[in-house]
Structure 1
Amino acid sequence: MSRAPFPLLDQLPAQLHGIILDFHWDADRLHALALPTSVVPIADLDWHLALPFWAVDGEPFRVSPAEVATDPVTHRQQWERTQAADLGFALDGYRRSDGRLVILDGIHRLLKASVTGRSSISVRVLPDHLFDAIAVTDGLG
């Protein structure tokens, strides 16, 4: 089986290449893994907040978490999701080949931690050798 490609790969803006994985992965599989957790300074992760991860009016990759924080009225849905985010759960991420920690799941939690003044947050780090454990397969073998 091979990994199914990320479903919105053709719409991915250049600044998200090398950040968003190029394959479709399953959040439930990710959350089910027993992964090591580290406490990471928010300052090491806040670069994520400038990237256009979120949709606007059904159009993917149109607004960054920083823009949501700056204008929560215009981006009410994402702001409400941010406010509802449970900081009791660690973020999930992976390390790129250059060593940079990238968040896979938990951008709303990262934004909430940032706007509430936290200095650090827990992150579960997925080693790249476990990517197949979270990958959705295309069934082609």
Structure 2
Amino acid sequence: MAQRLPFPLLAERPSTLEGVILDFHWDLDRLHALPLPEREASIATLRWHLELPFWTAGGLPFQVSPAEVAAEPAKHPHQWKRTMDADLRYPLDTYVGTAGRLTILDGVHRLLKATIEGHPTVRVRVLSPDALNAIAVAADG
């Protein structure tokens, strides 16, 4: 099975994503396979993710934020569909990032959907900093 890498590592990555997106290649399947502790997290503590340009538009990464998609769904139909299709039964995968705040590794579409639907909290799985090596892969795959 081919490894699924979540983001390209680009020099052109927006500075707003420094300290948010990990600076090494990591595998989504490895992350999902880890038995991580779960807990509830308030939408309010995660809402800052919605202002960051995580998502692809026009075939280019880091072009649009979830907030922009929510504001103009017709302009971003692919991301809007992914958001509306997101399954909230699955927790968001997070780690404790810069300044000790919970940072999403996988699940921003679920966060946006939960926000749109008015949920006060979401379930999260929390990857500890010492477990980052468990998801890391060589840059050449």
Normalised by the size of structure 2, how large is the TM-score? 0.91
Alpha-carbon deviations, 1:35-56, whole Å to 9, x = none? 0011000000000000000011
Match of 2:120 in 1: 119
Match of 1:84 in 2: 85
Q: 1:9 touches 1:22 (CA, 8 Å); kept in 2?
A: no
Structure 2: distance between partners of 1:18 and 1:124: 19
Task: Using CA pairs under 8 Å that are at least 6 residues apart, name the structure with larger relative contact order, 1 or 2.
Answer: 1
Q: Which runs of 5+ in 1 are unaligned?
A: 1-5
Deviation at 1:8, TM superposition (A): 2.4
Cα RMSD of the aligned pairs, angstroms, is 1.2
Query: How many residues get paired?
Result: 134
- Map of 1:7-86 to 2, 5 A cutoff? 7-86=8-87
Normalised by the size of structure 1, how large is the TM-score? 0.91
Structure 2: distance between partners of 1:116 and 1:138: 38
Structure 2: distance between partners of 1:64 and 1:7: 17
Identity %: 57
> Secondary structure of 2:73's partner?
coil
- Map of 1:125-136 to 2, 5 A cutoff? 125-136=126-137
Structure 2: distance between partners of 1:97 and 1:15: 12
